[in-house]
Structure 1
Amino acid sequence: MNVHDPRATELDARGARFARVDTWIFDLDNTLYPAATDLFAQVDAKIRAFVMEALGTTPDEAKRLQKDYYRRYGTTLRGLMLEHGVSPDGFLDFVHDIDHSVIPPDPDLVAAIRALPGRRFVMTNGTRTHAEKVTARIGLSGVFDDIFDIVAADLLPKPNRETYDRFLHGAGIEPTRAAMFEDLSRNLTVPHTLGMRTVLVVPGPDEALGREAWESEGADAPHVEWVTHDLAGFLAEVNPAARQIAPEID
């Protein structure tokens, strides 16, 4: 007797949505490593110190401006440039001069990403050097075809549409055959509009994080197709090379 397995049906339907994907695009921070690693807390502290020095503010005012600019402009640096004419020189090197050793190796994620068919990219609002250090710690050195960083974006961060267009055009990516993985819902709005598969990577149920409230919003937004707190497991489930998948469902 055949027993119907609802989960198997859901996995088949999910897998079918990825059947045509041949380009896999990953955000970096809090996406390729667990947010509970809290690496970004180091960056956060360095950004605040830079704001204090550049604007001559108190710690509380520096924090307020930092968070306000990050939310409104995509990066604090963008806000400093537009609102105060602050030169970007030295900012990126300073804020990414941190201890990357807190990131543990992740052999399961390495295996899952290596097994993906087609091309693989990192698209980050951080720097290439920072991304290379992060991916090296995870065990992903040499796995990605390229890293598109904030310098390649001409300092215009996600979620600006121009930045996605610049990345896609430069890499020759057909968005309807691509999937995007992000930890911020708002950064998936443009990818969804362009026809990408969109996956929001969230903290696990037992991870207590000091994030801004807005950073955790939008998991149920229409532009978010899937939500997962297990990136390696999700990739293994939807990998077309590892599954017998029906034609894509529109």
Structure 2
Amino acid sequence: MLNPEAPEQSRVALVTGATSGIGVEIARRLVEDGLRVVISGRSRERAESVADDIGARFIAADLTAPGAADELVAATVAAEGRLDVLVNNAASDHTGWLLDTPADEVRTTFETNVFAAIACLQAAGRAMRDAGRGGSIINITSRLASIGVPTMSVYSASKGAMLALTTAAAVELAPHDIRVNAVAPGMTRTPLYESWVAEQDDPAATEQRVAAAIPLQRIATPQDVAATVAFLASPGAAYITGTSIPVDGGYLAQ
């Protein structure tokens, strides 16, 4: 069982896709909370810079490669001695009209967003089960797992699959005291969002329109998402599993 009295610095978190945007801030927040953090990604130069900046360990991994998830978890445990938290954050974006999307683009999106994430959950879950200490697995999904937006169908389907996996895995892994939850960000100020806004004919008007559609009247920051992940990773969330927390300023509540 997870010991609420255990010092945070004794716990280890693995954050996938932590080389930019939300992933960086999740890793940074967990380090600030006292966990030993391992980040993974395919861009070694960028990841090493992030790791040095926030005080984390970097382990390179292309999670779409066969056996990569098992190797990443094994390397994490070998380096840090244990694994208590997995944040399944690595994902690829996809936009395009559904009826015109080639099958290979669908497969590529699901390879990263679903198949690789499932493999990471399996590998981390086995390590946590075998260690007998329980653990926390947090899947980063999206508000798009729950709503329909034109051109986002394939991406939405991949995140919807992870939402369904979260609830089923939570029930299956509960006997091992492994909690599985999801965090579903809404529109968030990531480099991808900033690039999209900059491409619009009137960026200021676009940003105003997006914010106006959100009850809290602002775009989320990566730190907003990271704070929710940090809570679910903490002993304070020891009785929470199988849930999805939207970090969307009330958008889905409308």
* Bin for the TM-score computed over the shorter chain: 0.3 to 0.5
TM-score normalized with structure 2 length:
0.36
**Which has the larger Rg?**
1
Higher RCO structure (Cα 8 Å, ≥6 apart): 1
* Greater fraction helix: 2
Give the alignment's TM-score, normalised by structure 1: 0.36
Q: Which structure shows the higher strand fraction?
A: 2
